[in-house]
C-alpha cells in the first residue's frame, strides 16, 4: 500500500563522499558517519574544498563545491532505501515524491476503470486478477534496477491495490445481509487495513532493506490463491446479468454451509423482471452516463464526488503530518495505526445506532473544529498542535471508513462498482492536491490546518443532504436510488420505484 513509501522511500542522513587519504591493507579507511559529517561540508549537498591532499591534518577552505564523488548514507535506521541506492538527493530529490505520486496515479486509474470492468465481467474475476497484478508488480518492483522502473511498477501496484480494495468491498457487501454488511466493511475492510498498517512498522523494523520489505509485503497475496474455490460470484450481479441458475446455486451453497433451510424455489416466475435478462435479448450494458441520467443518481454522484474528495484530502493530509512528527518513525506509524483501529471499532459500534448522515456530519464537523482551534494557539506550542491534529484525524478517519458503507448502500447494484469507482477517483484527486496544501505550510504553519478544517466543515454540511440508508435494503435498480433531503421524486419516478419494489427481488441474506 502507499504507506510503504514511509520506509521504502525515506531519505537517510547523508553527506558528500570524500577520501581521507588513509589506507589500511590497501583500502580506504572509513571513519564513523557522525565523525565525518561534522567536517565534510556545511550541508548534505556540498563539501568544503581542500587545500592540498587529504592527510591527518586537513586544510579546509571556506569555499564549497558540489558532491563530485557521490554521497555517504547513514545506516543507523536502514541498510538501504531507494534514495541511498540511486542517490535521489539534492538535485535529484524531486524523484522521491514523484515516485510516490506514481503510486497514486495508478490508484486514480484503477479507481476509474475497475468499476466498469467489475460491472461488466463480474466481481470475482476482477478481484483475483487485480490481486495477482498487485502481488506480481510488487515482487518485480523489488528487483528494480533503476528509479524509472521502480516508478512504473509503483503505478501498477497502485492500480492493482485500489481496484482490489473496491471490488472486494462490493463483492462482500452484495452477498451479506444489512447487519453483516456493515460489520464486514468496518471490521473486515477498515479494521483489516488498520491492523496491516500497524504491522508495517514491525516488519520495517526487522527488515531494514527496501527490497526485502517489498517481498515481505507481497507474500500475503499468495495466500488468496486457494480462496478462488471458496469465494463465489455476487448473486446480485448474476441476477442482473440474467444468470438465475448460477445465482440460485450460490445461495443454496451458502445456506448449506450456514446450515439454514432454503426454499425449493428461490426466484419465482415474474420476480426480478428488470434485473434478469431474457435469453433472446441483447444484454443490457450500463455506462458511466447512467450515474447522472436521473435526478436522484445525479445528486448522489455529485455529492459523493465532493465528499470523497474532501475526506480523502483531509485524511491523507493529516496522515502525512502524523508520519512526519518528530521522534521514532516506527513508533509514530504504529501510534497512528493504533488510533485508526480504535476509531474503526468505535465507528462500527455507532453506525447502526445513529443515522448515516448524522454520523458523517458529526465526525467531519468534529475534525474541522479541532483543526480550526489550532489557529488560536501560538505556533510555539508544538506538542499541543500535534495533539489537536491527531485528535482531529480521529474524526476524519471515522468518516473515511463510513463513506465506503454509506455510498455502497446509496448506489444501485447495476452501477455500484462504477459509482464507487468515480467517487474513489475523486478521492485520489484529493490525495494529489493535499501535498500542495501541506507545502503552503512553508509560509504559514497554520494555513494548512485552516484549509483542511474549512474543507472538513463544508463537507460535513453537505453530507446532511444525503438520505439515510440505515436498516434499508440495497437498491438494485437506478430507479430505486433515494432522493436527497429537501427534494422529491417526480410522479413517473415514484411510480417506477413502486413497481420495482412490488416486483423486485427478495432480499438476499
pLDDT digits (tens, 9 = 90+) for 185-243: 788 777 888 888 888 888 888 988 889 999 998 888 888 888 888 888 888 778 777 77
Cβ atoms within 10 Å, residue 354: 15
Q: Confidence class of residue 484 from pLDDT cuts 50, 70 and 90?
A: confident
User: Does residue 26 surpass a pLDDT of 80?
Assistant: no
The burial of 433, by beta-carbon neighbours within 10 Å (0-12 exposed, 13-18 middle, 19 or more buried), is given as middle
Instruction: Compute the distance between CA of residue 138 and CA of residue 132 in angstroms, rounded to an integer.
Output: 10
How much of the chain, in percent, has pLDDT values that exceed 70? Answer: 79
User: Does residue 83 surpass a pLDDT of 90?
Assistant: no
Q: Confidence class of residue 136 from pLDDT cuts 50, 70 and 90?
A: very high
Residues in a beta bridge with 16 = 71
Q: Confidence class of residue 498 from pLDDT cuts 50, 70 and 90?
A: very low
Residues in a beta bridge with 23 = 28
Looking at residue 360, what is its pLDDT?
A: 92
Q: Confidence class of residue 70 from pLDDT cuts 50, 70 and 90?
A: confident
Determine the 3-state secondary structure of 217 from DSSP.
Answer: helix
Q: Confidence class of residue 303 from pLDDT cuts 50, 70 and 90?
A: very high
Are 459 and 403 in contact by the 8 Å Cβ rule? The answer is no
Are 481 and 300 in contact by the 8 Å Cβ rule? The answer is yes
Looking at residue 39, what is its pLDDT?
A: 53
Determine the length of the chain. 509
Looking at residue 508, what is its pLDDT?
A: 40
Instruction: Compute the distance between CA of residue 197 and CA of residue 188 in angstroms, rounded to an integer.
Output: 14
Report pLDDT digits (tens) over 244-290. Answer: 778 778 777 777 777 777 666 666 554 555 444 444 333 456 777 88
The least confident of 194-198, 307-311, 327-331 is 327-331
User: Does residue 435 surpass a pLDDT of 50?
Assistant: yes
Report pLDDT digits (tens) over 154-177. Answer: 999 988 888 888 888 888 877 777
Q: Report yes or no on whether pTM surpasses 0.75.
A: no
What Cα–Cα distance (Å) separates residue 262 from each residue in 129, 266, 267, 509? 32, 8, 12, 11
Instruction: Give the CA count within 13 Å in the CB-facing half-sphere of 448.
Output: 23
Give me the domains of the chain, ranges plus CATH numbers: 239-278 (no CATH), 288-486 (1.20.1250.20)
Are 104 and 428 in contact by the 8 Å Cβ rule? The answer is yes
Looking at residue 486, what is its pLDDT?
A: 65
Amino acid at each position: 500500500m502507499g504507506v510503504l513509501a514511509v520506509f521504502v522511500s525515506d531519505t537517510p542522513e547523508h553527506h558528500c563522499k570524500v577520501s581521507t587519504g588513509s589506507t589500511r591493507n590497501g583500502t580506504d579507511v572509513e571513519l564513523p558517519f557522525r565523525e565525518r559529517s561534522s567536517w565534510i561540508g556545511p550541508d548534505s549537498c556540498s563539501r568544503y574544498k581542500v587545500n592540498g591532499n587529504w592527510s591527518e591534518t586537513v586544510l579546509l577552505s571556506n569555499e564549497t563545491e558540489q558532491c563530485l564523488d557521490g554521497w555517504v548514507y547513514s545506516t543507523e535506521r536502514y541498510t538501504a532505501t531507494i534514495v541511498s541506492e540511486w542517490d535521489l538527493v539534492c538535485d535529484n530529490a524531486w524523484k522521491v515524491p514523484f515516485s510516490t505520486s506514481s503510486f497514486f496515479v495508478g490508484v486514480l486509474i484503477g479507481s476509474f476503470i475497475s468499476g466498469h470492468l467489475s460491472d461488466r465481467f463480474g466481481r470475482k474475476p476482477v478481484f483475483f486478477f487485480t490481486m495477482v497484478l498487485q502481488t506480481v508488480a510488487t515482487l518485480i518492483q523489488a528487483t528494480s534496477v533503476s528509479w524509472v522502473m521502480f516508478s512504473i511498477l509503483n503505478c501498477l501496484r497502485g492500480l492493482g491495490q485500489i481496484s482490489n480494495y473496491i471490488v472486494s468491498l462490493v463483492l462482500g457487501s452484495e452477498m451479506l445481509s444489512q447487519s453483516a454488511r456493515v460489520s464486514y466493511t468496518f471490521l473486515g475492510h477498515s479494521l483489516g487495513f488498520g491492523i496491516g498498517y500497524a504491522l508495517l512498522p514491525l516488519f520495517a523494523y526487522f527488515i531494514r532493506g527496501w527490497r526485502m520489505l517489498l517481498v515481505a509485503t507481497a507474500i500475503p497475496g499468495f495466500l488468496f490463491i486457494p480462496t478462488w474455490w471458496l469465494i463465489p460470484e455476487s448473486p446480485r450481479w448474476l441476477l442482473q446479468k440474467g444468470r438465475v441458475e448460477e445465482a440460485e446455486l450460490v445461495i443454496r451453497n451458502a445456506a448449506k454451509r450456514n446450515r439454514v433451510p432454503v426454499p425449493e424455489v428461490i426466484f419465482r416466475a415474474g420476480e426480478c423482471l428488470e434485473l434478469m435478462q431474457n435469453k433472446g435479448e441483447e444484454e443490457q450494458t450500463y455506462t458511466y452516463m447512467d450515474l447522472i441520467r436521473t435526478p436522484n443518481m445525479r445528486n448522489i454522484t455529485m455529492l459523493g464526488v465532493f465528499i470523497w474528495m474532501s475526506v480523502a484530502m483531509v485524511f491523507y493530509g493529516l496522515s502525512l503530518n502524523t508520519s512526519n512528527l518528530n521522534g521514532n518513525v516506527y513508533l509514530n506509524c504504529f501510534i497512528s495505526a493504533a488510533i485508526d483501529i480504535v476509531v474503526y471499532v468505535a465507528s462500527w459500534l455507532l453506525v447502526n445506532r445513529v443515522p448515516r448522515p448524522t454520523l458523517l456530519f458529526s465526525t467531519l464537523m468534529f475534525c474541522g473544529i479541532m483543526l480550526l482551534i489550532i489557529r488560536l494557539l501560538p505556533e510555539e506550542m508544538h506538542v499541543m498542535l500535534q495533539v489537536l491534529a491527531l485528535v482531529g484525524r480521529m474524526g476524519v478517519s471515522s468518516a473515511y471508513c463510513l463513506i465506503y458503507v454509506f455510498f455502497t448502500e446509496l448506489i444501485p447494484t447495476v452501477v455500484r462498482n462504477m459509482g464507487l469507482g468515480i467517487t474513489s477517483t475523486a478521492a485520489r484527486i484529493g490525495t494529489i492536491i493535499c501535498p500542495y496544501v501541506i507545502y503552503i505550510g512553508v509560509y504559514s504553519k497554520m494555513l494548512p490546518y485552516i484549509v483542511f478544517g474549512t474543507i472538513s466543515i463544508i463537507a460535513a454540511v453537505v453530507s446532511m443532504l444525503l438520505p439515510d440508508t440505515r436498516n434499508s435494503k440495497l437498491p438494485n435498480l437506478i430507479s430505486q436510488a433515494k432522493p436527497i433531503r429537501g427534494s422529491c421524486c417526480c410522479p413517473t419516478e415514484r411510480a417506477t420505484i413502486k413497481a420495482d419494489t412490488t416486483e423486485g427481488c427478495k432480499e438476499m441474506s
